[in-house]
Structures are given as C-alpha cells and as structure tokens.
Structure 1
Amino acid sequence: MSTFNLRTFLTARGGSFYVRLYFGLLLVLGLCCYKDYGVSWDEPADRSNGMVSAKYVAGFVAPGWAGQHFANTPDIHGYLDNDHGVFFEMPLAFIDQIIGIDDSRTYFLMRHFAVFAVFAAGTWALYRIGRIRFNSWWLGLALSTLLVLSPRFFAEAFYNGKDVVFMAFFILGAYTLVRLLQRPSLARAAVHGVATAAAIDVRILGVLLVAFTVGMVGLEILFSSADRTRRLQFAKAFLLFGIVTVIVIIAGWPYLWEAPLDNFLTALENMKRFRWGGLVLYMGAFESALALPWHYAPVWIIITTPIAYIVAFLLGAGAIGYALLRRPLDYLRTFEGRLDVLFMGWFALPIIMVIALNSVIYDGWRHLYFVYPALLLVALRGAWALWQQGRQLRWLRPVAIGAASLASLEVAYTIGRIMQAHPQEQVYFSFLSGEQAARLFERDYWGLSYRQGLEWIAAHDPAPQLNVMAQNDGVIENNLAIIKPEIRARFRVWQPGQWVEAGPTLYFLGAYRTRAEPYTETLGGEIYAVKPFGITALSVLHQW
C-alpha cells in the first residue's frame, strides 16, 4: 500500500478507519476458519445445480468448450432441480471449470470461503442499514457484531450456500431499498433493481423485496414531507426499478430464458407446494414436516438465538408498537419510524406466511434465516431505547446499566462458547442444557461433525485401510471430499448390507439428526464423541 493510501486509511473521518479495520479483520477471521468445516448434506447437490446451468449457458457461447468441460453434467431440460436459483452456484461452477480444479478438497475450500465472502458482504450491508437508522457508525458496527456473534450463523457462514447466501443478498436488497427511500434517484433505483433481482435469483422468495419496495415507497409518498417534485422522482425511480429487476432476474436465471413468465410462475408454484415428507425431532417427538405445529419456527428462533438478543427484540418490538399506537401519524412521518415498520414487516411477515400457509420447513428454521437481520435491527432499537430512557429517567438508570452489563456478559460468554465448540457451532442452543437439547431437538442435521469423526479415526488408527459406515448414505462421502487426499485414500466406505463382510475393524459413525437415543451396543462400543456445547453431535463406534 502506498504512503498516500496508508495515510488516507489511517486518517479517515467519521469512523471510517475503524469500519475498514473491522471488516478487514472479519475477512482475516474467515481466512483463519474456512478450512475447518465439513461438507453439508446440500453442498454436492447445490454444486450440481450450478454445473447444470453453467453447461446450459456455455452451450450458447462456446458449445465446444461446454462439451469438453461439462460432458458428465446433466442437461437442464428434465433436470429435477432446474428451477432452483443459481446466481451464486453458477459462477462457482464456471470458476471450477475455468481454473481446472482437479480435487474435491480444493473445490469445497474455495466454496466455503466464497460463502463467507458473501456473508461478509451481507454483514457490511447490515452495518450500513444500522448506520442510517441510528445515525451512528459504532452502533452500525455493534449491529454487525450481533450477527457475527450468533453461533449458528457464524458456522453456517462457511458452508450454507442456500440460506445464509440468500440472507446476505436479502440484506443487500434491503440496504439498497433504504438508500432509495433516503434519496430517490434513477441510479439508486437501478442498483436496487439489481440487488432485488440477485436475491430472487438465489431464492425466489426474494420477491418479498418487491413487496417491501411497493409498501415503503407508498409510505414515503403518504407520510413524508414529499413535494410534487419528490413524488415524481419516486415514480420515475419505481418504474426503472421494475424494469431493471425484470431484466436482471431473467439474465441471472438461465431456467427462465426459454419462457420467462411461464417458467417463473412454475418456479413460484413449485415453491408454494414444495413437499418433503421426512420426520423431524421436535419437542421430544417425531413430527412430519408436512404437519408441523404452528409454533415450530418461533420456538426454534427462541432456542437458537442468544437470550439477550431475544429480550432486546421484545423491548424493541414493544417500543415500536407503543409508538404506533400512541401517535401513529407522528411516528410514520419520521424516516426512522418508517424504517422501523420495514424492519417489523421484514421479520414478522415471512413467519406469519409460513404459519398461515402451513409451509414446509425443516432442519430448524434455516428457511427463515433471512428474517434474522430484522430481528437484530429491532433488538438494537430496543436496547438503544432502554439506554436512552435510562439516561433521562433516574429510576430507570440502574435497570439500563444492569441490562447492559448482563448483555455484555452474555456476549463474552457466547464468544467463549464459540471458541470451545469450533468448528461445530451449528449445534448451538442458547439456554437449553446438553441433555435437554439432545432429548428434544435435532442436533447436527447438516452432517458436518462426520469430518471431525473421520479425522479422529485417521489420527488414531495407523491401519492402511480404514473401514467406515454411517447412519445415512452419502454423508461420509461428502466429508471425505474435503479431507486431504492422502488421508481420504485410506478410507473405504461400507453400506449397511455389507456389515458382516466389513469384519471387526469397522467403524460406525452416527449423528443425531432424527435420533434422540444413543446407538445400541450391537453396532460396537463408543470410542469417541464430538460434543460441542456439551451436546453429543456424533458418536464413533468400533466393532471389536
């Protein structure tokens, strides 16, 4: 870095130096951790989705190259998941083929850092929203920190290319919307259109950004001090937003190219009637994903979010509700009040839709992760309101100071728990004991702990061939794919029907996705267990 640029970096005003330092350190943290995680259930399928669309696109531009590099890739026509958004997956597929990655470990490591980079971009956008809403760069950074220090999100920021990537793009869309509301212009409308389309091209539920745009522009016209000129600016901006959104949606989603409207409606309908008939362990009972109780998502949100965040969210929601009931017109006439309405809608509307439509969700609340930033925004609103009231009201000051002290202690405790559980933070429960979590809920439903189990076996058994078997097909192969090739070559994966043939040197690895009770001794004796947060996420059993 040149002397001039370094001086600019160090002397930046308005907290810019600290902001840049913060996000620079966040990327360094990602570089330190991205090699640590296993491969989740969905990643091979997500990779295939990207390859299918990349083959289709390459067939138009360079058919010879496509035939050479995608010879074993299915055609998009008739492919079961051809309607899945590939805005994130397709570029990875092209990078994979252009670079010529020849080992699965290299690909998945690249993929994990790419997921984290997108998460970091979403974290930055959340900081920007917080800075605008609270008019403070350090409160914006505090907001970003709440997201980073959410244990499940920290882990999934490295491998969840569906829900966390969609969340990040949704935050970017919300940020561009806030900027547009601040100052309507054609440039900002175009950028918001691109961001909205990108979110939709990751997951079609991004259409909620269109609904929020319509609603918030309407609130600006009705309740802000907009004169005729500003209203005309909003009208022009909204028109351009719509045009750009449609164009970029089609451009970024190859499935739509042949029949944009029909295929988009088909994808939307497939999302509405998506059905997965598996069982989930919820509140100690096995429930069908087709008939989950209405409280499934709210309960999962509560038990996997730090307690201080939930308390602050309730304070914030109460403060917003009180302001709307007491003086609704006055509150909506403020830009901050209208943003609070956006945040509440962002959080509540998707959850209400899932409950009202009896939508299929499973594996906790991962399908609703994109509402979590709104929860944090409302939580910061509640914490800041309590602190401000504590400064004005003498009797409330001890309460505010006590609440801030307890919240700080929990944050410190959470940091310690993340470090202790790494790299299995995805099994975090906020206040349940290990015994309660194991008995009542699914644990490592992503299957990441298998990597740790496999590496433990390789480190403790010098045999040239290591015979392993898993509870479920495919999960061992997924995690072997990211292990170093020389270690991977020592493993042989057996199927349940080959139990006798495998002989007494067999290792059995079992996670607890849809299982609460320990594995029986007929499978062997437990010689190792992965226990993040005191919760058994994986058992390794050995046939003696």
Structure 2
Amino acid sequence: MPAALAFSHRWLVGAFFGLLTLLGVGLYRDYGVGWDEQVDRLNGIINAKYVALKLAPELARQQPTFADIPEMRDNQDTDHGVFFQLPLVVLEKVMGADDTRDIYFLRHLIIWLTCVAGTWVVYRLGAWRFGSWRWGLVTAGLLVLSPRLFAESFYNYKDPVFMGFFALGIYTLVRWLHQPTVLRALLHALATGAAIDVRTMGVLLVPLTLGFAALEIWYRPQQERRRFLLSFLPYLPLTAVVVVLGWPYLWENPLGHFLEAFQSFSRYRSDMLTQYLGHEISVRELPWHYAPVWLLVTTPVAYSALFLIGLGVVLWAMHRPQQWLASMAGRLDLLFVAWCLGPLLAVIVLHSVLYDGWRHLYFIYPAFLLLAVGGLRALWCSWQQASRPVGRAVGWVGAAFLSFGVLHTAARMVLDHPYQNVYFSVPPAAVTGKLFERDYWALSGREGLEWILAHDAGTAIPVATDPRTRLLLHNAQLLLPATERARVQMVPPEQARYFLTTYRWHPAPYLAYGTPIYERQVNGLTILSVFRLH
C-alpha cells in the first residue's frame, strides 16, 4: 500500500472511532438507569468486599459501608462474572463518585467507551476477512447503526459488553489460526478467560477454538502441524487460570461453582413472565421461535436481507467443501456461521431461559453483520462485473434499497433518541405494542419523574406505579439531582397524586385512571404515560 494511501486510511479509521467516542461523550447523560443496573452494581460491590477480605481484611473492615454490604453467600447473582463490574466499583472510589447521579453517569460513560473498543474489534474482523479496511468500516458502521445495540451500549453492563469481549475472543482466535505462535495462543487464552468472566456463555469460545484448531491442522502442511500443536498447549490451562482469577466466586470451589453458574442457562430462579406475540408466557416455556422472531423484528430489514444473501453465498460455496475449506477465507466463513447460528440453535435445543427479547444472544450479532457484509460484498462484485443493462439496473435498485434502509435507520435513531431501545423494524407501532414488550428497561421512567417535578411545585410528591414495576420508580430517581430526588415519595396507587407506567407486563391502556396528562411516544408507540390521580 502506498504511504499516502496508508496514511489516508489510518486517518479515516481514526476519525471514525474518534467521532464515535465524542458522540458518546455528548450523549451518555441522556439515558436513564436500566432495570438491572443496581443489581449489577451490587454484584460488583459484594465481590469487591469479598476480595478485600481476602487480600486486606483489616483495611476492609474499616470501611464505613462494610457492614451494609451482603456476604458472598447471600449474593443472588453469583452466576454472573464480575470481570467488568469489579473494576467499575474500584473506579467509582478512585473518581470519588458518591452521589448516585455521579455514579451512574460515570458508569454509562465507561460502558460506552468499552463498546467503542468492541466496535473496533468488529472493524478488525471485517477488515481481516474481506481484506480491506473499507469493508471493515462498513461492518463497524452497521454495528453502530443498529438502534437497540446503540442505546444499550450506554446502560446494559452485560450484553453489549459481553458482545465486545466475545468478538475479541474470536479475533484472537483468528490471529492465532493464521499464525500459530505461543504468544498468540496466550493472548487468545486471556481473551477467552475474560469473556467467560463477563458472561458464562463465553465458554463457547472453547469448543470453537478446539473445532477450528482441528480444522486448521487438517488443512495445514505436515511440517507445520507440530508447531501448531505446541503453540496450542498452554491455551486450556491458562484459560482456566484466567477464569478462576477473574471471578472471585470461583476461588473456593472452582469447578463446582462454575458448573453451578453454567447450569443457570437452562433455568431461571423465578417463573418470570414475558410479553410475546400478544400473550404473557413463562420464560421457562418459550416457543422455539422466540429468539429468531425477536432478532428479525428488532434488526433493520436491509441488514436481515443482506444476512440471508451472505448466508446463501456461504451455503452455495459449501457444495464443494474440499475446495471451500482449503482456503482461509472459507474456514473464516464457516467460523462466522458457527458463531452466529450455533448459539441460536443451542438455546432452542436446550430450551434455555431468555427474556427481554434476544439480548442474551447479542454476542452473535457481529457474526450476523459479518455475513451480511459478505452478502453486500458479493452483490457489489456482481454489480461491478455485470455487462448487461438488466444486471446494472438490478444493481442500482439494490443499491437504492440498501441506501434507503441505512438512511432510514439512521434517521430513526436520531428521532427516537434516547429511546432507540424500543426500535422495531416491523410490524407497525399499532401492532407492536400489543405483541411485544416495549420499554422493558424502564428508561422512560426518568423522563416521567422529571416531567412531574417540573410541573408540580410540591415539596413532597406522592407517585405510584404498577406493583410489579415498583423498581422503576426507584431507578428513575437515581439520576435526579439530590434536591429533586428528595421530593419524590413512592407510595401505593391509593395514596398517590400521580401514577406513572412504562407498560411492562401491562400492554393494555390504564382505563381506570382516565386520560394521561403526559405521554411519550416513539415512532407512534406509547412507552410512557403519567396520570393525575384524584
């Protein structure tokens, strides 16, 4: 690559990620506190106490809040690793964040920066597979222009963060498969262990590594196989060491506690209900199509169409398996298919518990996009090579469709801000509200309380919500200034002046409370209502 062109591409890539970083810095204060944020933070705090007691017990007991922090044995979220949460708790102390407003704004910014790093990994994967930084940027751009992932990259500590760590595990795997050195195997072990310590599903990196290592050895020349095997030897032991060191809950009983955490995928501690296709169903009795349907209705239509084309290209190449797998590109495509479809099929076959849409499977989305970009690249090449007017015309129609889809998605993200988390590609809003959960993170509760406080001068304002979503009001207060927070009183509906709802587990109108005095709609879908009670 000429020096000027290399400089130009580095500048463009740097500008893309620099602007992405600045975008988050400008937006991170716009999002409310999600449903799980307090629980996730508490998990980090409990683990911090546990580690402190192990390493510096006397100093730990001198902390003013020591007695108020539950013990590890009382922690209900031991099946969630704290590789990301534990450093966040330490960072709060270092930055001197004491008020909940400062704490959660800081955490939202760090989540965003972490997800930007994950987007860079996806860019590298795209550039590696397609041999071009331009196609890498296209892949990263589609990830950024994925409305739900964009919003959740500010407040969802588990799923988008794990997606980035899992993508990093795939990237280190690809680098090691390409050039099998001990150093690259060690880096892959670190990435694998870190992914598992963020979410136990990261263990899927291990069978992917074993399977594709065996495939690589099969297609390598005889003289390279010994070096490949020798570089692989430290992978499993180091992965195990990283997993145990990065997950304090495993320290006392590594194997037993890990198996206990892993088994939690096929069960759930309570029989929670979820809204799906117009019915409330148990998360333990989900139909097989739950995850695929959620994926399709929350992903831009253009991306899904490109994915099907890309998957079709790969399947077509499979009709000559020996020739296809003999190339590194073919083996990479097979890896992306296994990464995307393998976990999806696993949760269907194992009847794994899912809820809140398909967020537990967000980590397959980079593979979905890589296959989609593969489809786009195939269309582009066909268009470039088309000699007949009909072929060129079809290409122009396809380009117009894709351009409209991307621009429409970008426009929706701007107009829906900061509620891109309720984006639906299909069906229309009038149907969506009856079929699926809306703002299941309850982010709009913050806006509801802010509106009430701005329109009621009372020093003590009694506010209620549905008993099952009482946590909504508590979370909605966390980002309010301390003086405003003190004005809100959480009370039962019969004692309240205002009733606030985000419609979780209650898709029907609240007819008993009359007409709302304030509502928030996103693309025609009502996600928040405030009622004045007499």
Using the size of structure 2 for normalisation, the TM-score is: 0.95
- Residues 1:509 and 2:500 are matched in the alignment: yes
Deviations 1:46-65 (A, max 9, x none): 01110111111111222233
2:336 counterpart SS class: helix
- Poorly superposed stretches of 4+, deviation over 6 Å: none
- Residues 1:357 and 2:347 are matched in the alignment: no
Residue 410 (structure 2) aligned to one of 393, 407, 415: 415
- Residues 1:54 and 2:67 are matched in the alignment: no
In 2: Cα distance, 1:31 partner to 1:117 partner: 9
1:444 counterpart SS class: coil
Matches within 5 A, 1:161-172: 161-172=157-168
> Which residue is equivalent to 1:93?
89
In 2: Cα distance, 1:532 partner to 1:31 partner: 23
In 2: Cα distance, 1:153 partner to 1:113 partner: 15
1:105 counterpart SS class: helix
2:523 counterpart SS class: helix
> Which residue is equivalent to 1:528?
518
Quote how far apart the aligned CAs of 1:410 are.
Answer: 1.5
Quote how far apart the aligned CAs of 1:78 are.
Answer: 3.7
Quote how far apart the aligned CAs of 1:245 are.
Answer: 0.8
In 1: Cα distance, 2:520 partner to 2:62 partner: 43
In 2: Cα distance, 1:63 partner to 1:94 partner: 16
Quote how far apart the aligned CAs of 1:229 are.
Answer: 4.0
In 2: Cα distance, 1:303 partner to 1:272 partner: 24
- Residues 1:459 and 2:449 are matched in the alignment: no
Residue 541 (structure 1) aligned to one of 520, 531, 534: 531
In 2: Cα distance, 1:183 partner to 1:445 partner: 44
> Which residue is equivalent to 1:380?
373
- Residues 1:265 and 2:259 are matched in the alignment: yes
- Residues 1:23 and 2:17 are matched in the alignment: yes
- Residues 1:492 and 2:489 are matched in the alignment: yes
In 1: Cα distance, 2:133 partner to 2:89 partner: 37
For 1:525, the aligned partner's letter is: T
> Which residue is equivalent to 1:4?
none
In 1: Cα distance, 2:470 partner to 2:69 partner: 22
Quote how far apart the aligned CAs of 1:386 are.
Answer: 1.2
Greater mean deviation of Cα atoms: 374-383 or 455-464: 455-464
Quote how far apart the aligned CAs of 1:510 are.
Answer: 0.8
1:537 counterpart SS class: strand
Residue 125 (structure 1) aligned to one of 121, 137, 141: 121
Quote how far apart the aligned CAs of 1:11 are.
Answer: 8.5
Quote how far apart the aligned CAs of 1:262 are.
Answer: 1.8
1:179 counterpart SS class: helix
> Which residue is equivalent to 1:403?
398
Greater mean deviation of Cα atoms: 234-243 or 114-123: 234-243
Deviations 1:198-245 (A, max 9, x none): 00001111010111111111111112xx23342222212221221221
Unaligned runs of 5+ in 2: none
CA RMSD between the two structures: 1.6
Task: Determine what percentage of the aligned residue pairs are the same residue.
Answer: 46
Matches within 5 A, 1:110-509: 110-223=106-219, 226-325=220-319, 327-394=320-387, 395-471=390-466, 472-496=469-493, 499=494, 501-502=495-496, 506-509=497-500
1:65 counterpart SS class: helix
For 1:74, the aligned partner's letter is: P
* 8 Å CA contact retained: 2:78, 2:261: no
In 1: Cα distance, 2:59 partner to 2:31 partner: 33
In 2: Cα distance, 1:220 partner to 1:398 partner: 41
For 2:119, the aligned partner's letter is: T
In 1: Cα distance, 2:526 partner to 2:17 partner: 34
In 2: Cα distance, 1:249 partner to 1:10 partner: 44
Residue 509 (structure 2) aligned to one of 504, 518, 539: 518
* 8 Å CA contact retained: 2:176, 2:188: yes
- Residues 1:82 and 2:82 are matched in the alignment: no
Provide the aligned length of Structure 1 versus Structure 2. Answer: 526
* 8 Å CA contact retained: 1:10, 1:17: no
Deviations 1:273-327 (A, max 9, x none): 33541221111122221111111111111100000000000000001001102x1
- Residues 1:66 and 2:63 are matched in the alignment: no
2:506 counterpart SS class: coil
In 1: Cα distance, 2:166 partner to 2:491 partner: 42
Quote how far apart the aligned CAs of 1:14 are.
Answer: 6.2
* 8 Å CA contact retained: 1:56, 1:254: yes
In 1: Cα distance, 2:410 partner to 2:62 partner: 48
* 8 Å CA contact retained: 1:427, 1:533: no
Quote how far apart the aligned CAs of 1:416 are.
Answer: 1.1
Quote how far apart the aligned CAs of 1:133 are.
Answer: 0.2
Deviations 1:184-207 (A, max 9, x none): 111111111111100000111101
* 8 Å CA contact retained: 2:249, 2:257: yes
> Which residue is equivalent to 1:3?
none
* 8 Å CA contact retained: 2:79, 2:200: no
* 8 Å CA contact retained: 1:467, 1:492: yes
2:463 counterpart SS class: strand
* 8 Å CA contact retained: 1:276, 1:360: no
> Which residue is equivalent to 1:6?
none
* 8 Å CA contact retained: 2:268, 2:284: no
In 2: Cα distance, 1:276 partner to 1:152 partner: 26
Distance change (3 Å), C-alpha of 1:416 and 1:342: same
Matches within 5 A, 1:6-21: 13=7, 15-21=9-15
2:318 counterpart SS class: helix
* 8 Å CA contact retained: 1:509, 1:540: yes
Residue 45 (structure 1) aligned to one of 32, 39, 42: 39
In 1: Cα distance, 2:270 partner to 2:127 partner: 40
In 2: Cα distance, 1:531 partner to 1:462 partner: 25
For 1:474, the aligned partner's letter is: L
1:84 counterpart SS class: coil
In 2: Cα distance, 1:195 partner to 1:458 partner: 46
Using the size of structure 1 for normalisation, the TM-score is: 0.94
Quote how far apart the aligned CAs of 1:12 are.
Answer: 5.5
For 1:329, the aligned partner's letter is: Q
Quote how far apart the aligned CAs of 1:258 are.
Answer: 1.1
Deviations 1:449-471 (A, max 9, x none): 10111112222223333221112
1:265 counterpart SS class: helix
Deviations 1:382-413 (A, max 9, x none): 11101111222334332222212211111111
